[in-house]
Amino acid sequence: MDVVTTEEEIIENLSIFEDYLCDGSEEEQQFAHDLIRRGSCFIAYQIEGELRFSPSRYAGYLSNTRARHLANPDKDGKETNAAINKVIGYTLSPNDELESEYLAFTSKLGITPNNKNRKYWRLNLQGIDFVNNAAADDGFPEGKLVERKHKSRERNQALVAAAKDAFLKNNEKLHCEICGFDFETKYGIRGRGYIEAHHTVPVSDMAPGQKTRLEDIALVCSNCHRMLHRSRPWLEMEQLRKLVIDET
């Protein structure tokens, strides 16, 4: 495969890598995680105040994709490192500050790096924005990575089913714990049994290995759920209840 020769070509690869990392299928996310785990040479790039890291063996090949990367038998970090050095204008080197940021980044992803001796470039993306991945919904400042991990917990069907069962032991039907909205009343049989699960403890606030308890799950309608997540820090349930009451 040809290597990159311009900053625009590197940015194109970073954009695709971001899509895999933030919005990809399970296979695409695992692909990105594996590259980050095994990498030793990284481009550090910033989105909305959050540093991300893409390995040179991916970012350094022209118009790279998961399929092309996996099908490339001649991947060579020396080749991509030399290409990126020319584009960025300085040589790959160790960096204590970026090393600390990388370890924080991998910790957020739940990744344990394989290598110990890492080197970095820092690419200034000022004026360039990966719109789809910059921030989730209306101004989530910690970036889409944290929200995606949180939402994946909220879509855990076993947990959602258990929370519904627990709720129905004390309530005749499912309804929003904030505003009282009942999907079945509004939409008939199509809405029967539907409700969304909100984890009251954000994933970013959980200790390593901490498990979600049923009492940490609240059942809410789509509108209230979106309002809870709309900005950081997230609203507490009671805070949103007061807003709903004040507006009625």
The pLDDT score that the predictor gives to residue 125 is 73
For residue 99, being part of any structural domain is answered with yes
Asked if residue 176 lies in contact with residue 195, where contact means CB atoms within 8 angstroms, the answer is: yes
User: Is the same domain home to 148 and 130?
Assistant: no
Round to whole Å and give the CA distance between 32 and 57.
12
How many DSSP H helices and E strands does the chain contain?
12, 5
**The two structure tokens encoding residue 71:** 């099908």
Q: Within the chain, which residues score under 70 in pLDDT? A: 23, 48-49, 126-157, 203-210, 231-232, 246-248
Q: Where are the alpha helices (DSSP H) in 89-211?
A: 96-109, 131-134, 144-154, 157-168, 183-187
One domain, residues 130 and 23 = yes
Residue 167 shares a structural domain with residue 228: yes
Which of 115, 134, 153 terminates a domain? The answer is: 134
Query: Which residue in the block uniquely carries the two structure tokens 């060579």?
Result: 76
Q: Per the structure, how many domains does the chain have?
A: 2
12 and 130 co-located in one domain: yes
The span from the CA of 7 to the CA of 54, in Å, is 14
Q: What would the two tokens of residue 175 be?
A: 């309804």
| CA 117 to the chain's CA centroid | 26
In this structure, are 15 and 130 located in the same domain? yes
pLDDT value at residue 232 = 63
Does a structural domain hold residue 228? Answer: yes
pLDDT of residue 240: 94
Q: Per the structure block, which two tokens stand in for 34?
A: 């594996």
Alpha helices in 26-156 (DSSP H): 26-38, 56-59, 66-71, 77-88, 96-109, 131-134, 144-154
pLDDT score recorded for residue 139: 35
Last residue of a domain, one of 134, 164, 197: 134
Whether 120 and 94 have beta carbons less than 8 Å apart is answered as yes
Same domain, 25 and 127: yes
Tokens 């399929």 map to which residue? 67
Together in a domain, 16 and 116? yes
Which region, left, alpha or beta, applies to residue 65 given φ > 0 means left and ψ of -120 to 50 means alpha?
A: beta
Structural domain ending residue among the three candidates 111, 134, 157: 134
List of E strands, 59-139 = 119-123
CB contact at 8 A, 115 and 40 = yes
Tens-place pLDDT, residues 174-194: 999 999 999 999 999 999 989
Say how many C-beta atoms besides its own lie within 10 A of residue 27's C-beta: 9
Determine the Cα–Cα distance for residues 185 and 113; give it in Å rounded to an integer: 50
What is residue 226's predicted lDDT score, i.e. its pLDDT?
86
pLDDT at 179: 95
CA 185 – CA 97 distance, rounded (Å): 55
Q: Let me know if residue 2 belongs to a domain.
A: no
Rounded to a whole number, what is the distance in angstroms from the first to the last CA of the chain?
A: 62
Same domain, residue pair 122 and 160? no
**Within this chain, do residues 153 and 82 fall inside the same structural domain, yes or no?**
no
- Dig out the tokens for 48 from the structure: 């909305």
Torsion of CA 134, 135, 139, 142, to 10 degrees: -110
Q: Supply the range of the domain harboring residue 197.
A: 144-246
Same domain, residue pair 181 and 126: no
Same domain, 40 and 124: yes
Residue 163 lies in a domain: yes
Domain contains 29: yes
Q: Assess whether 22 and 45 both reside in one domain.
A: yes
**Cα distance between residue 180 and residue 177, in whole Å:** 6
In a domain, 139, yes or no: no
Q: Token match 């785990």: residue?
A: 37
Q: Is residue 1 domain-resident?
A: no
Q: Model's pTM, two decimal places?
A: 0.56
| Locus of tokens 């105040």 | 49
Is 52 part of a structural domain of the chain?
yes
